[in-house]
Amino acid sequence: MKIDRLGAIRQQLYTNGQMAIGDMCEAVGASIATVRRDLLTLEKQGLIERVHGGARLAQGASTELAFGLRESANIAAKRAIADLAFGMLRPHTTIFLDAGTTVLQLARRLRLEPMPLTAVTNGLPVAQELMGVPGVAVMILGGEVRPANACIVGPIAESQLDRMHFDQLFMGAGAVGDDLTISTGDLAEASLNTRMLARSRQRIALVDASKFGRNATFVVGTVSNLSHVIADPVPARWRQAIANAGVDLLIAELAPDPV
């Protein structure tokens, strides 16, 4: 289908940067004439720029696509985790939803079945998802916009957090190391996430199995700082390690693939 092919071309350009038309034809399995027409469509949409013999992503398009690729990765696991997390929500509470892509799935679940609560977030897509949902009061932190992750960070956001308390925090995790350290690749996000933990009574991490056994540069905290971890099925060693840390682990079972 043309829509799928256009998406494949964008992903190829995101992964490889500038590409020659011949390489794109081979990557997406289409003729030169077809790829040329697709590039013209994408150029009219402002998503790519034509260069001699090929194309590249337009300025700003790579940021949007990067977030989209992260959002769609392990989507079945993220939705299952979000569904389990939804069961922990309580009416008339104040919650913080961070800017993680798994937490975004929780916001979408709340949109499907609203309940009266206050949701504070630093995630632009999260705020947009909950905007106008009956009974949900949405607050978004101010501060520096980080385009790559569609989130708000920085000292202004941190100072606002310091004047708040939350009944529940739902946060993602960029990486969970073998020593149960939670880390991320962005210093400003790590600093803000550490403050979220300190201001929340119940601290719940939504983590798909691909994040375990990894390390990123900047430490947010450790699993022992949490009250709950919600994950899709993980090996027994992780279950035991989380239990040893005194943290409740909830496993979101994935629906079987249709036969």
DSSP H or E run through 24: helix 21-28
* Residue 244 in tokens: 């040893």
Which stretch of DSSP H or E encloses residue 86? helix 75-86
- Do 181 and 86 lie in a common domain? yes
DSSP, residue by residue, 120-180: EESBHHHHHHHTT-TTEEEEE--SEEEGGGTEEESHHHHHHHTT--EEEEEE--SEE-TT-
116 and 49 inside one domain: no
The upper half-sphere exposure of residue 113, i.e. CA atoms within 13 Å in the direction of its Cβ, equals 10
CATH number at residue 108: 3.40.50.1360
Pair (128, 210) in one structural domain: yes
Residue 19 lies in a domain: yes
Domain boundary among 11, 26, 59: 59
- The one-letter amino acid at 125: P
Do 132 and 196 lie in a common domain? yes
Q: Which among 77, 61, 55, 40 has a CA at the least distance from the CA of 211? A: 77
In a domain, 54, yes or no: yes
Instruction: Look over the chain and give the mean of its residue pLDDT values, rounded to a whole number.
Output: 89
185 vs 193: CA distance, rounded Å? 12
- Residues 234 and 141 both lie in one domain: yes
Q: What is the pLDDT of residues 100-118, one digit of tens each?
A: 999 999 999 999 999 999 9
The answer for residues whose C-beta is within 8 angstroms of residue 103's C-beta and 6 or more apart is: 82, 97, 123, 126, 170, 171, 172, 206
List the domain range (segments joined by +) for residue 158: 74-251
For the chain, the C-alpha Rg in angstroms (whole number) is 20
Higher pLDDT, 54 or 201: 201
**Is residue 256 one of the residues assigned to a domain?**
no
Please indicate, yes or no, whether residues 46 and 121 belong to a single structural domain of this protein: no
CATH number at residue 7: 1.10.10.10
pLDDT of residue 48: 81
Phi, psi at 93, each rounded to 5°: -120, 170
Whether the full predicted model's pTM is greater than 0.95, yes or no, is: no
Question: What is the number of domains present in the chain?
Answer: 2
The reply to whether 108 and 230 lie within a common domain is yes
| Higher pLDDT among residues 180 and 149, named by residue | 180
Given 25, 59, 93, the domain boundary residue is: 59
Give domain status of residue 234, yes or no: yes
Specify whether 41 is located in the same domain as 166: no
Residue 222 lies inside a defined structural domain of this protein? yes
Confidence bin at 221 (pLDDT 50/70/90): very high
Statement to judge: residues 46 and 85 lie in one domain? no
Q: In terms of domains, do 95 and 52 share one?
A: no
Q: Note whether residue 135 is domain-resident.
A: yes
pLDDT tens, position by position, 123-175: 999 999 999 999 999 999 999 998 878 899 999 999 999 999 999 999 999 89
